[in-house]
Structure 1
């Protein structure tokens, strides 16, 4: 059977594309991960941690839901780099924080049809539709409120009730993509609409007759037309059953004449699949030379500072470290869908400028009412603690995704090197951010009542140079890879991969639609900007094809 569109990846972008395109076209949606949705009830679902917000602690590292990538951080350090491998992709395992970036991000891309006003319209359209829930969190903490007070005290700001973009400096609780204390992934919202309100039956996607979803489909390579041309006509994939790939046989799907293959596998897997299929630069058996594939990798590096607080302060640490406390947490969530199990990874946020000359904030804080030595530790500290992590929203360092040892087998994980803190600018911004965190926590009247003490990394790091070196040791990703198949097309620009219609340069029938097409990373969490990218692209493609 042939399709009008084959979408590789049922993640954030792929799910929205399937929703929009299947109203008029025959669409095949391929997902490497397993099927996971039985119901929106975590107690009857096959994968309950995919629905419980705090379940990200498990799903980010579970082989059944994450690719288990690792990324280089310097010559002898690497960190976990979770990427969703399940229906909903990263929206099924991420922090659920709703952010849009700012108009300057998109204007800075300098690509026709992708400016701030264009993307604003896409965000507003998605919000108005009502499928993608954006709600207040169902808990608050005194220590987080005091952190917010401290930011207001130091920066003379007004508390934000809807901290969903980085247009202005501000502090407040993040809004989240949850409904009734449960995570809502892009797949649930836009494809598996048995569990969301459909205002118009004509917009129903599940079982609409035009959409076919195949899980456990590990795409092996892109299929080109016979005769050596550069036209992609389909994909070849292995079928994975029960966690094992049956590579004794492969399956193939093709598009109709004039059809399209769209890669929505994310900023790591989309360029990796292209390179494994011979689209790239310097790969053996290269079919299409395209220097930008896998280059221009950008990410947000968070710099965690842990503060020990006065004995008796209410934080998650003592609650989670006691049997009674954990039981109480479970009961509260079971009865009311509130409490720590409903938590996003970070609850309070702030956007500030590292320099007064900047038009938009370039620093973002993720603040948590808990502390631990490193991300992934099962046990929190024995004392009451808080973590304030700051990140540079617009890093100038650029990394790459490359084949591992030249292997063109997609099952061999690629080499990922974001080259964090590779520029003097990023090192200076890191030092400024960490110093600002100290000033907010240790230098304010509002937070002084908790008698805070910097536990990690510690006050021994003071100068810009010392703080920059410290950042290289303690920095961890917030998992926002982007830019590896960036848009472009201007004269003299040799590094672009896709044009303004997201067509791959020099290849017919192939497009890319995910965070990899960003020219520069957006200033905030990247999941909803990826959704807006898919919304904009769906309009472009439907207009081209005459679909309504």
Structure 2
């Protein structure tokens, strides 16, 4: 592939007068760039800190998911020590390459509930409800209709009313399923959990088979690079510069006393450069780095800016606040002999599986986790625990805010929202469980993921260094801290009991054996609380640090409903950081929808679209 970024130097890039300049060539940034550059009258530039990675097995092959985490393609972020996690520091992987985290994630493709997006609109952000976002979900995707056999055998479904059929991201159902897949659905059905064949239609509660961002013809990952960038690399008005770390956004004071974003200072190969933008700068550096770049540019909390040695240009204490993240526990079970002799897998080892994939594009390396279930708490909790937790929610501090009212309203049993997610995957996925390699046992993991966390943290610039290329932001999710964190801890503890019910239910009980982590000796809630605090991990879905302010404006957030940064002309944010409240879903599809909507609004504001 002859890519433009291989032909342009940083010095040449900095000499171009761009109309739109995008900071971050990740999931959202590349999508925005592709849509803006469809219009040849605009010159569009993208600055990306990582390299272009094309045709690398650990990125492309679905079954190798997770192998890029912790490599040179990962920023390697970490939280500060978390008191609610016994002082542990958690890794926060984020993609450092063109395509961003869409090149690292597990390719899960789902949407939140209608209520999730309608809540954004209820906060005073018109145009962000389910009905308004659905066209942008569809615009980003091509969902391939499953075969009749997949529909019959594995619960695959297709709803043409809500499925995109011409978008850049290829989305498909796996052709390979482990022996546990059908049994997972049957076991949950036996517990009264209904199968959901319309999980992309605005309600994801129930048990269902997940679709994935995988191109079915090639059985490769479909992500921002392959879907939004590579097909458009020939455009003469689209320029991508890699290995370019943004230092700050240039803000100039206009005659009417308002700051305007006019350019970006960045460092490439040890040399600092400056590049200008005629119309707008779009910040798409993600939930972790978008607030960091705003603060580096003088936009944020005056106290934080002063401590970091930054001049205060726009006073907004909301920058970097409102951090919300899905919290996950990984519960490990031993598998019985029948599961180890999976006829579909044929007992293939890693080498045989790779050979099958390379030769035929079939087998276990074509698939990622697809056994999903989302449940309301009242369904997952033991008897009486839902009522106990509801009472704690009713007396939480901050009950006067609209966002708190929405969050606490999710405890209403009438809402029937997916408050806890369960996923079954083969293998041991808990980093704290290390069985002996000589034991000869196989394992399966049930992940449980809290979808609407009450815990809120922050991400801020690190005042210890001014070098953005080495200086990582201070990430403090505040897991399980304070009365809000207590709600999250109790929810996780109570949800563990349901995993036991799933595993004990036929026919899944024929394949999954005893629980090994947490140890079977743990049986009471106090012991579970300690185990959860010691083993909780992140689900890599951080949102909210540059959130839409809604009806409260700059008092409530960082950007308005058109994603324009308060107090600055010509600057928007377009990534997961603008989400004011978390959603019950993996966020990949929503981030693409945000990018599609952002590009549409930008073109509207510049009189290209009606």
1:498 counterpart = 2:559: yes
Counterpart position of 2:332:
306
TM-score, normalized by length of structure 2? 0.79
2:186: which partner in 1? 149
- Return the offset for 1:156: 4.1
- The equivalent residue for 2:6 is none
Cα displacement (A) at 1:378: 12
C-alpha displacement at 1:181, in angstroms? 1.4
1:361 aligns with 2:418: yes
| Aligned equivalent of 1:541 | 602
Closer/same/farther in 2, CA of residues 156 and 226 from structure 1, 3 Å limit: closer
Alignment of 1:22-421 (within 5 A): 22-24=37-39, 25-37=42-54, 45=55, 47-63=56-72, 65-72=73-80, 74-75=82-83, 76-109=87-120, 110=122, 111-126=125-140, 127-158=164-195, 160=196, 163-164=199-200, 167-179=203-215, 180-193=218-231, 205-225=232-252, 230-240=259-269, 246=270, 249-256=271-278, 259-281=279-301, 282=303, 283-284=305-306, 285-314=311-340, 325-344=349-368, 346-355=369-378, 357=413, 358-374=415-431, 382-410=440-468, 411-421=470-480
Q: Counterparts of 2:53 and 2:512 in 1: how far apart (Å)?
A: 45
Q: Distance in 2 between matches of 1:315 and 1:362?
A: 35
CA distance in 1, matches of 2:287, 2:68: 19
Superposed displacement of residue 505, structure 1: 1.0
CA RMSD between the two structures: 2.4
What is the deviation of 1:406?
A: 4.8
Query: 1:198 — aligned with what?
Result: none
Distance 1:514 1:492 in 2: 19
**CA distances 1:73-106 after superposition (whole Å, capped 9, x unpaired):** 6232112211011111111111111011111111
Deviation string 1:30-74 (CA, Å, 9 cap, x unpaired) is 11101212xxxxxxx3x33221123333212112x1101112462
TM-score normalised to structure 1 length: 0.88
Q: Does 1:9 align with 2:36?
A: no
- How far off is 1:312 after superposition? 4.6
Q: 1:484 aligns with which of 542, 545, 556?
A: 545
Distance 1:375 1:101 in 2: 30
Q: 1:20 maps to what in 2?
A: 35
Go from structure 1 to structure 2 and tell me whether the alpha carbon gap of 1:177 and 1:253 turns closer, same or farther (over 3 Å shift).
Answer: same
Residues 316 and 554, structure 2, Cα contact 8 Å, conserved in 1: no
- Structure 1 unmatched ranges of 5 or more: 38-44, 194-204, 241-245
2:570 aligned with 1:512, yes or no? no
Contact 1:166–1:360 at 8 Å: present in 2 too?
A: no
Shift of 1:359: 2.7
Q: Tell me if structure 2 keeps the 8 A contact 1:403–1:415.
A: yes
SS at match of 2:111: coil
Which residue number corresponds to residue 202 of structure 1?
none
In 2, distance between residues paired with 1:378 and 1:287? Answer: 54
Pair 1:230–1:209, CA change in 2 (3 A): same
Q: Is the CA contact (8 Å cut-off) linking 1:260 and 1:509 kept in structure 2?
A: yes
Alpha-carbon distance change, 336 to 162 in structure 1, aligned in 2, over 3 angstroms: farther
In 1, Cα distance between the equivalents of 2:293 and 2:607?
29
Q: 1:301-327, CA deviations, whole angstroms, 9 ceiling, x for partnerless residues?
A: 1111000122352279xx89x9x7122
Partner of 1:528: 589
Cα deviation, residue 6, structure 1? 0.4
Shift, 1:226, TM fit = 6.5
Structure with a larger share of its residues in helix: 2
Residues 194-226 of structure 1: CA distance to partner in whole angstroms, max 9, x if unpaired?
xxxxxxxxxxx3222211111111111111227
Is residue 66–residue 84 contact of structure 1 (8 Å, CA) maintained in 2?
A: yes
> What residue in structure 2 maps to residue 40 of structure 1?
none
Deviation at 1:341, TM superposition (A): 2.2
